Amino acid sequence: GVLMNNRDHRKMMIIDGKTVFSGGMNLADEYINLEHPYGKWKDNGIKITGEAVWNFTIMFLNMWNSYRKDDEDYKKYKYDFSKENLEQNGYTIPYGETPLDNEIVGENVYLNIINQAQKYVYIMTPYLIIDTDMINSLILAAKRGVDVRIVVPGIPDKKIVYSLTTSYFETLIKNGVKIYKYSPGFIHAKSVMADREAALIGTTNMDYRSFQLHYEDAVLFYQAPVVEELLEDMDKIMDESRLYT
């Protein structure tokens, strides 16, 4: 019964051990707006080259080998970057979430970012179904003067999940957290940006299933150019969104 609940929610494409693509996007037409079941579909994807790809390779092979034991030698999939003249730009830390250990890594990374933020935290998430720890972190950040903004879909994909999401609005808004609804449609991105220094792009939604039950992956960036890119993206999304009151 428990295993039926544990879903592989990771999205990754690894090419020759050199490049990885990850983020919120699945392989389906609505993700590239060929179809519009819920208005405009907004997502975030990330491309990474360099040593950080190895983390993804291991995540993939661990999952692959849980069903087939035919790739025991991981090292043959490791690309040697020592010959490449790669530019170092900040820190890139990919990590995985598994429901099989007793560590809620996905949620803890969110909490750490929110708890350490000093100026602002911007979050994009399709669902907002959060526990007391997360509610308190968001509220305490807002109360100590951090500009906390959460962007959720304007057009829902799942009605029940959406009504659960909106049930958290009142408590958060009353305590200074700003909620934005993405007017053009459905936001599927799972991204966090704090103080123009740290950013998070991954597959982890802000909900119970992602934090507790799913296999997820994400990348934490610190003082990397992509933080600036994400900030620009988020500013644009908030311009298209409506502040919920």
Provide the annotated active-site residues: 9, 11, 16, 188, 190, 195
**CA gap 147, 215 in Å, rounded:** 30
C-beta of residue 166 within 8 angstroms of C-beta of residue 197: no
In eight-state DSSP terms, residue 8 is B
C-beta of residue 120 within 8 angstroms of C-beta of residue 149: yes
* Residue 225, phi then psi, degrees to nearest 5: -55, -30
CB contact burial 162-178 (16+ within 10 A = b; e otherwise) = beebeebbeebeeebbb
**CA gap 33, 66 in Å, rounded:** 34
**CA gap 26, 17 in Å, rounded:** 21
C-beta of residue 216 within 8 angstroms of C-beta of residue 202: yes
**CA gap 38, 184 in Å, rounded:** 9
How many C-beta neighbours within 10 Å does residue 47 have? 12
